[in-house]
Amino acid sequence: MKTVQQIFATKPLQIFSVSANTSVLDALKLMTEKNISALLIMQEGQLLGIFTERDYARKIVLQGKASKDTPISEAMTANPVTVTLADSIDLCMQMMTDKHIRHLPVVTENQAVGMVSIGDVVKFIIADQKQTISQLESYINS
């Protein structure tokens, strides 16, 4: 069974986060600067929520709110669905599919240690399948 830990072994461990009182505009600027589509909302090391491009579209733009004047706490998804390093890739895919989400914060001992995106999961699955195919071809040819 492949796990989230194995995905983390293939990507840099970086956590991009802002505090709950950060403006939506400042969060968007950070997302643009880092070329990411989701941020964790943290307060004193605790995960409060997640803010995604989808949150921006639905909770700011469509409601006519001003990004500059709205704190991220009003636009974030509070208490997001999370996974642990020991959770399987299959579980991540199932959760993302069932809940229509693209990002899963990874939590260890109540501390956020990173995030897994649908892109990370798909990339990992493709690489794993390529390796399996290569092994099978080697076995068949030997």
Its pTM surpasses 0.85: yes
CA distance 20 to 55: 14
Q: Are 16 and 28 in contact (CB under 8 A)?
A: no
Q: How many domains does the chain have?
A: 1
User: Domain range spanning residue 122?
Assistant: 4-141
Whole-angstrom Cα distance, residue 14 to residue 113?
Answer: 8
CA distance 35 to 30: 8
- Per-residue confidence (pLDDT) for residue 124, from 0 to 100: 92
Which pLDDT score is estimated for 5?
A: 95
Instruction: Average pLDDT across each block of 10 residues of the chain; the chain has 142 residues. List them in order.
Output: 92 89 97 96 92 96 94 96 96 96 93 93 90 85 82
List Cβ neighbours of 64 (8 Å cut-off, separation of 6 or more). none
pLDDT reported for residue 11? 84
pLDDT at 131: 86
* Cross-strand partners of 18: 41
CATH no. for residue 127? 3.10.580.10
Q: What pLDDT is attached to residue 127? A: 87
